[in-house]
């Protein structure tokens, strides 16, 4: 029996189709499968970050150097990016972020809730167009639309990958 295609494979395929050569990230379990696909791809460079806003500067540098980049992060890291998002808006370069959500459906950690709930509004307040995916069937079309919009219109776009899509996390079996 064939194993069904995982939605992260769709994202990796879209990255290749849209010539995204640089993928920066702060380690996050929600992005593990996608990171492994990108790591195995000789046409992509993965850059681990110490903090999310570094990924915005990396995307700016990639754009100035003629390459395309994407930033992978968790919703808790969006708060770290607020000031740096002014660079994207002021300099009008394309920016694509994929954000794994916390603080939603099935959340066990109360510390994740405030930023998880604020993430869409914070991004919009900084001029980022926000798309949201809640089920695997919509991943391809949503990431495709976001990628096209970001790189054709020179705007910042974030795709929020909902916690119901990722599955809830738990520690200690609780």
Is 69's pLDDT higher than 90? yes
For 64, phi then psi, to 5°, come to -65, -25
With cut-offs at 50, 70 and 90, classify the pLDDT of residue 164: confident
Can you give the pLDDT at residue 174?
Answer: 44
Q: What is the mean pLDDT of the chain?
A: 90
Rounded percentage of the chain residues whose pLDDT exceeds 90: 76
What residues does each domain of the chain span?
7-166
Is 173's pLDDT higher than 60? no
User: Of residues 133 and 165, which shows the higher confidence score?
Assistant: 133
With cut-offs at 50, 70 and 90, classify the pLDDT of residue 26: very high
Q: What is the CATH class of 7-166?
A: alpha beta
pTM attached to this predicted model: 0.92
Can you give the pLDDT at residue 112?
Answer: 76
Residues 101-160 have pLDDT tens digits of 876 777 677 787 768 888 999 999 999 999 999 999 999 999 999 999 999 999 999 999
**Cβ-proximal residues to 98 (8 Å cutoff; 6+ apart), any chain:** 11, 31, 34, 70, 71, 72, 73, 143, 158, 159, 161
Mean pLDDT of 72-96: 94
């Amino acid at each position: 029996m064939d194993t069904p295609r995982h939605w992260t494979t769709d994202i990796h395929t879209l990255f290749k189709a849209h010539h995204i050569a640089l993928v920066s990230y702060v380690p996050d379990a929600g992005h593990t499968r996608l990171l492994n696909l990108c790591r195995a791809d000789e046409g992509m460079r993965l850059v681990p970050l110490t903090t999310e806003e570094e990924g915005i500067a990396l995307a700016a540098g990639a754009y100035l150097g003629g390459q395309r980049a994407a930033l992978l992060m968790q919703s808790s890291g969006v708060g770290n990016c607020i000031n740096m998002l002014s660079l994207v808006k002021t300099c009008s370069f394309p920016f694509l972020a994929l954000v794994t959500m916390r603080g939603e459906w099935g959340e066990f950690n109360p510390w994740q809730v405030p930023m998880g709930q604020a993430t869409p509004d914070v991004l919009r307040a900084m001029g980022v167009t926000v798309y949201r995916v809640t089920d695997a069937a919509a991943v391809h079309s949503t990431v495709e639309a976001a990628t096209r919009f970001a790189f054709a219109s020179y705007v910042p776009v974030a795709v929020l990958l909902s916690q119901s899509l990722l599955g809830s996390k738990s520690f200690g079996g609780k």
